[in-house]
Amino acid sequence: MEDWQMTPEERSLKYEREQKERKTKRQKGMKSLTAAQLKVLKRSHNNLRKIINEIEEMNDLYLSDIRELNSCFYDIGNEFLLDNSHYWNYKDPDDAEE
């Protein structure tokens, strides 16, 4: 049944069920992380929160914030086996070859 064919109550129940499924999957994923991965994620998330707040309040970045962003980038890349190439060397595997 399409969304437009549902009553508001049915639509609400559908979206609540979908949100619960997403939350369950996310919790399972978080439990599967190693302690080091979780530490990197939490540290990076908190640094990003701090930097975003400073950008919003002052419309500016400190050099220490840029250093933290750089550190977060490499920490996440190393813990999750992502490509840490510089921007101009990075080739996105999802981009189609032309």
Query: Domain range spanning residue 64?
Result: 7-86
User: Residue 59: its pLDDT value, please?
Assistant: 85
| 8-state DSSP, 93 | T
**11 in a structural domain:** yes
**2 in a structural domain:** no
pLDDT of the chain, 98 residues: tens digit per residue: 788 888 999 999 999 999 999 999 989 998 999 999 999 999 998 888 888 888 888 888 888 888 999 999 999 988 887 887 776 777 776 765 54
Number of structural domains (the chain) is: 1
Contacts of 47 (CB under 8 A, 6+ apart): 68, 69, 71, 72
